[in-house]
A and B are shown apart, each in its own frame.
Chain A
Amino acid sequence: MKNLFTAIAVSLVFASVASAATSSGTLTVTGTVESSINLTIESAGGTTSGTGTAAATSALGSISKYGSAPTGFTLARGASDWTLSSTIGVKVDKANLTSTDYTLDAQLGSAPASGIVWKLNGSTLSDSAATTLTSTGTYASTGSYSWDVVVADSAAAAAIDNTINFTATSN
């Protein structure tokens, strides 16, 4: 009989210990998804660095009409000038955007040295106005644009450093 009492008492203890309490709460999560596009320079003539990013550099080294063409360039000699030719690969990716294509413009960062002409896709670039390279660019695909640097024979022997600023705008 004592065992029965003990068993009942033990079950009472267990019944008390096993009780669990429950509570709930709600965490509301909000935010705004914003559309975006991203431009990268994928390739260029010369000794490049920073390809795959939005700020690439191409070093041509010392160039001359009767010297060798820089890496990735061809050299064409004319009667009164000479031209270094290569290509620049530009890629534009999009996210959370319904646009199907984009417009790509290019503009020089500073006025070119006297006797130097910068061309992309056959169009002469300037530092005062943007030149449209394409108005139907395909996202996530690297577009290749011909790149020419025309040097007049009369141009002074000096650095021709410049910057080409690309701007992509979703259509």
Chain B
Amino acid sequence: MRSLILATLILTSLAIAGEGRRRTVAASPLLPDVTITFTDVTAGTGSEAALDTGTIAWRKRGTRRDATITTRMFGIRIDRRSGDTRGTATLRASLDIFDPRCTVRIDGVALGPAPRIIELHAAVGSVTMHRLEIEVPNTVPEGAFHSAIHWEVTTE
């Protein structure tokens, strides 16, 4: 019985050590076990993409008198490299590059430097559509704006 316990403990240690190595691989930026892909964007492929909203000009007939809100729809696809579509993933977003002249929202959630949960149980293996909102107050000067949204997906 002692031998059995010892063998079990060794196996446990090996399993934990192996799990540790697997996690290391999973955290590697080169080969993550899960991938994120943007769809319905204006440029880029895979996990690095761009969405150009074009020209934003205030119109009085809009819903806001003090700001212009421009919306765009885009998709995010989450996949496991194994092809397994079971389970869900948590999708978070934050601003890597922040243009102080405008407010960026995803599905109504205002973004900042700290990650915010956009979707708690996002489906794996299919595209989910999200709404990007850019709110520009009338008081800010004209010109180009540039923001970068960092996305993080974690499978459960």
Contact = CB atoms under 8 A, between A and B. Distances in A.
Contact of B54 (A32, A94, A96): A32
B114 interface: no
A97 B140 CA distance: 8
DSSP majority for the A interface? strand
A16 B129 CA distance: 31
A19 B70 CA distance: 39
A109 B102 CA distance: 40
Contacts of A27: 38, 41, 49-51, 74, 148-149, 151
Nearest to A40: B60
Given A22-B26, A22-B152, A31 B52 contact: yes
Chain A interface extent, by class: 20 to 34
Interface in B39-64: 41, 44, 46-60
A62 interface: no
Given A27-B41, A38-B60, A32 B148 contact: no
Given A4-B5, A5-B4, A32 B55 contact: yes
A128 interface: no
Interface in A18-46: 19-36, 38, 40
A40 B61 CA distance: 11
Interface in B123-150: 132, 134, 136, 138-150
Interface of B: 1, 4-5, 8-9, 12, 15-16, 19, 22-23, 26-27, 29, 32-38, 41, 44, 46-60, 65, 68, 70, 74, 80, 96-97, 101-102, 104, 132, 134, 136, 138-156
Given A28-B44, A32-B145, 17 more contacts: A16-B15, A23-B34, A23-B153, A24-B150, A25-B36, A25-B49, A28-B49, A28-B148, A29-B149, A30-B51, A30-B147, A31-B53, A31-B70, A33-B143, A35-B142, A40-B60, A95-B68
